Structure 1
Amino acid sequence: MFELPSPSHLDIETVDDCQVVRMYDLPVELSNLIKALYDGASFHNRSVADFYYVAGILRLSTKYFITHLRKQAIRHLSQTWPHSLRGHDHMVENAVKAPPVDGLSYPYVHPLHVLNLARETNVRIIVPSALYFLSLYPLSDLLQGDHPKLQIEHPSRPSLPDRCDAGLRPSYMRWRSPNVSCQNEDNICNKAFTRLANRLARSWVPRTGPIHWMVQAMDELSNDPNVCGPCRRAFRQDVTALREKVWSELPGVVGLTDWKNLEAADMDI
């Protein structure tokens, strides 16, 4: 390398006698990165434009090894695509309450874009959550690729995963037996469980996901006067444990290590 000749003055591109260094990044992303280096990054989740901003910061901070900006971007993304059950509940609550922005529902970006960004930047902590919410979309819709969130111009390219939520639907409640301390006779609690399962199955909202559906089931049962106290408490304990179990196993379902190791690798916790 030291034997290579230096470029002649005629070969050097200059502007106002200053040497030009050509960058091949997207101008808007490079501009945002430079501003973030000097003024700090400001991450929000008010519209899909905010996702584009954090995506650009994450992409270039990864490329140029700017560790502090990369960690900030990952932490921000993990608030929307969480790594904890509490974070999941908060995200779904926002999705239910937040009004559409520019015709797009919260969180305004399609999970496919999130997954592609994670792949580009080698971020794994947001992958299980993004895949979980992606599983709520019918495969036929993904194949058509005509969802409004997929029509927005973005460097990410969608892939085609399959659904994986069916096993968490009302079946775990429909066949539930009364608690050993049940205070009702004539199988009243068991019949109440069956009625509740059928009613919730008819009102199933795929957009909120099966883990949130379990919360709805607990809330519905708590208001059912036909179910005795011991059965109601046992049901809440069992469903709470099931939610925690499903969430803790989610990374393994998609072929990743556990949440603790993902946090240590991507967020330095």
Structure 2
Amino acid sequence: MSRPKPNETSSGFESPRTDEPLFQPSSEVWYKDGNTILIAGDEGFRVYAGMLSEQSSVFADMLEIPLPAPQATHEGCPLVWISDSAVEMRYLLKSMLDPRYILKINQTLDLPALCSILRLSTKYNVVHIRRRAIEALQHYFPTTLSAYYNARERRRLSSGGVSTYFLLANTCREANANVLLPSILYSCSAQQLDTILDGVPDSHQGRVELSHKNKSAVIQSRHQLAHLARTGTLRWLYSGEGCSDKRCVAIRRRVGARLLEGRSIDGFVNPLSTFNDALVELIDGDCCEACQNAVERCVDNGREEVWKKVPSVFGLGSWDVLVKAYGQE
């Protein structure tokens, strides 16, 4: 159903056409005793104006402003058109009006849903819902390396692919959810360069690209991250730590050459990789135990040092500053 175009009356007020349905009642957010109908796209949501106003200063201002006559109504309820998509507004209203749904925010909602809730809860200043959305997203994009690494399968199962990462990065930037940005932008930086530059197809939005600010930050980060890989997690390729046995040195060089041959055209190497394949190759190549232990220590310590620097790589300060700022919201 397409949204009807309004007619303009002689008074200059635009009133909706009455010769076709104005909206499709929502099957999920439609309270029979509600007193206001919000219309997003072609979907109408019958809600309690008072409950929305109590939770949102933006809704309070919007719903308290008297509209000029003649005002469109349905079953005695005033109709209020909003510019957001029906899908996103449905997520927000369910979060605000259904206590059972609030519990799902931290438990079962996927990344696209959480992205929508974060964007609109920020836009409409629904503080408690915004905080819940950020806390839920931190399960996927946390502030510690161990938690980030352990969440990799959760991210894979919950996201809609790279487009979700790009949308989430843009939403977090727009919503000033900076505590989430470093790990999200890092996930974006690990994508193929042409994907970062050109964006990716999306079934709902056609094509999704990083915002100009995010794209610039991600592209610039790749050189810094590659440098951190060479001087941190891959330092064992160039240092004499472990031993100087010619066989071990030859094996390390061979493994290092293979790793660097597989890098991106712009020289990107993922500095947070565990390089497990390289370690297996060292073992299979009969590298001595001292070398194997040295490589493991180098990778583990290097990854921790890199993680500490991830926020600054993207111009976001430090983890401590970001966490403290979020705690003061």
TM class by shorter chain equals: 0.7 to 0.9
* 1:192 counterpart residue number: 251
Say if 1:53 and 1:7 are closer, same or farther in 2 by CA, change over 3 A. Answer: closer
- State the Cα deviation string for residues 47-79 of structure 1 (Å, max 9, x = none): xx9433212211121123222221221122223
Native 8 Å contact 1:81 1:88 kept in 2: yes
Unpaired stretches in structure 2, ≥5 consecutive residues: 1-64
- State the Cα deviation string for residues 137-191 of structure 1 (Å, max 9, x = none): 344443333x335x64179753333133432258633212143xx4xx7433322
* Equivalent residue in structure 1 for 2:145, among 85, 95, 104: 85
* Equivalent residue in structure 2 for 1:153, among 205, 211, 226: 205
* Equivalent residue in structure 2 for 1:40, among 94, 98, 101: 101
* 1:133 counterpart residue number: 187
* Equivalent residue in structure 1 for 2:236, among 169, 173, 186: 173
* 1:234 counterpart residue number: 294
| Structure with the bigger percentage of strand | 2
For 1:137 and 1:178, how far apart are their aligned partners in 2?
32
Say if 1:208 and 1:215 are closer, same or farther in 2 by CA, change over 3 A. Answer: farther
Say if 1:29 and 1:8 are closer, same or farther in 2 by CA, change over 3 A. Answer: closer
* 1:29 counterpart residue number: 88
1:64 equivalent to 2:124? Answer yes
* 1:254 counterpart residue number: 314
For 1:45 and 1:72, how far apart are their aligned partners in 2?
11
Unpaired stretches in structure 1, ≥5 consecutive residues: 1-5
Cα offset, 1:108, TM superposition? 5.1
Native 8 Å contact 1:252 1:258 kept in 2: yes
For 1:153 and 1:251, how far apart are their aligned partners in 2?
29
Native 8 Å contact 1:176 1:190 kept in 2: no
Say if 1:16 and 1:9 are closer, same or farther in 2 by CA, change over 3 A. Answer: farther
* Equivalent residue in structure 1 for 2:112, among 52, 57, 60: 52
Cα offset, 1:43, TM superposition? 4.4
Instruction: Please identify, of 203-212 and 135-144, the stretch whose mean Cα deviation from structure 2 is larger.
Output: 203-212
Say if 1:121 and 1:128 are closer, same or farther in 2 by CA, change over 3 A. Answer: same
Say if 1:81 and 1:152 are closer, same or farther in 2 by CA, change over 3 A. Answer: farther
* 1:14 counterpart residue number: 73
Name the count of aligned residue pairs. 249
Secondary structure of 1:148's partner? strand
* 1:3 counterpart residue number: none
RMSD across aligned positions (CA): 3.8
For 2:121 and 2:67, how far apart are their aligned partners in 1?
33
For 2:119 and 2:140, how far apart are their aligned partners in 1?
18
Q: Which structure exhibits the higher relative contact order, with contacts defined as CA atoms closer than 8 Å and separated by 6 or more residues? A: 1
TM-score, normalised relative to structure 2: 0.61
TM-score, normalised relative to structure 1: 0.73
Say if 1:175 and 1:225 are closer, same or farther in 2 by CA, change over 3 A. Answer: same
